[in-house]
Amino acid sequence: MEKMDLKSLTLAEMTQWVSELGLKPFRAGQIFAWLYRPGFDDFARMTDIAKHVRALLAEKATISRLEAVKEERSTDGTVKFAFRLADGHLIESVLIPEEDRHTLCVSSQVGCAMGCNFCLTGTMGFKRNLTVAEIVGQVDSTLLWLQRQAGAGEGETSPRINNLVFMGMGEPLLNFDNLIRAIQILMEQRGHDFSGRRITVSTCGIVPKMKELGEKVPVNLAVSLHAADDETRDLLMPINRTYPLEELLRACREFPLPPRRRIMIEYAMLKGINDSAAAARLLVKKLHGIRCKINILPYNETPSFPYRRPDDETIEAFRQILRKAGHTTLLRTSRGADISAACGQLAGEKE
């Protein structure tokens, strides 16, 4: 019989599983608390659990672990990890350190089926969805790496990941069930204890799953918009032909936002494509009535695509139109571009 990977179970699922083994339900909480200690991988170390229970766990279960096969550091401090999965596929995660916090960009699929024609990940094609354990494992491995970098021993205080963004390889909402279960594990107090305010899920516009995401987990939503008209968005993002702009914007209006939160509208600026003053004014019009803030992303150029970054004056003029209309507008500074770790540049297997 195949062993159960305990990193694939939510606390509720683990409670059911231990009950089926004939164990008391409280054992689930004990096991769960051990699993998410940095570097934990041995049932024998569960010192508050009876030996016969540990032996049963070793017989029936396993604890998966992702190991980085490659680590690259940017001049700006960004670190990109390449993880090899059990079937040989590669995925990438990106750690973005800042003065007072660490943000981890997490992948949800091997490759991507969306085919956005300015994104390098899309050129990989779609291989498969990540399992729950593979999603959570990216966080586990990065936390262990941070602990080792800080020289902290087990039980000592070490740097933590403050924010998780599902903006890595793949479209998270097309791996919906595994995404939800992974987020539940990450938010569990006896696990990683992340607040929903610290987790952001990005989508290119999988309309049928957006409302359900907000109903199941209280996370932040980011929407990769990149154009305010269907013609331009059709050119850039094939998903727009399935879920056109008005359907996507309606889904944004219907998204169950917690109080005082806003949807993040992601807008990659491409020279001569979507960077005009007219495009900015149309964006203002289209976003009317949506509680949102806008994140402008000057395009990260790559030889694989013909698109170019607008000049700084064009970017600032675009931004000022949005700000004068009352929108909180952020200008994202590109991080990790020198190691192909910036937005749209993750493509592990092609590298």
The catalytic site residues sit at 92, 343
Q: Which contiguous run of DSSP H or E holds residue 293? A: strand 292-298
Among all chains, which residue has been given the structure tokens 């690259």?
A: 72
Which stretches does DSSP call E strand in 56-198?
Answer: 61-62, 68-73, 79-84, 90-97, 102-105, 109-111, 126-129, 163-166
Name every residue whose Cβ is closer than 8 Å to that of residue 68 and which is 6 or more positions away in sequence.
Answer: 81, 82, 83, 141, 145
C-alpha–C-alpha distance, residues 61 and 74, integer Å: 38
Handedness of CA 277, 283, 285, 288 (dihedral sign): negative
Residues paired with residue 156 on neighbouring β-strands, in sequence order: none
Round to whole Å and give the CA distance between 193 and 200. Answer: 15
Distance CA 91, CA 139 (A): 13
Rounded to whole angstroms, the Cα distance separating 203 from 209 reads 10
Q: Which amino acid is at 29?
A: G
Please list the alpha-helical segments (H only) found in 151-244: 176-187, 207-216, 230-236
Angstrom distance (rounded) from CA 320 to CA 188: 41
Residue bearing tokens 């989508």? 203
Residue written as token pair 């960009």? 105
How far is Cα 66 from Cα 182, in angstroms, rounded to an integer?
A: 15
Residues in contact with 141: Cβ distance below 8 Å, sequence separation at least 6, in sequence order: 65, 66, 67, 68, 81, 83
Per 3-state DSSP, what percentage of the chain is helix, strand, and coil (rounded to 5)?
40, 20, 40
> For residue 302, which amino acid is it?
T
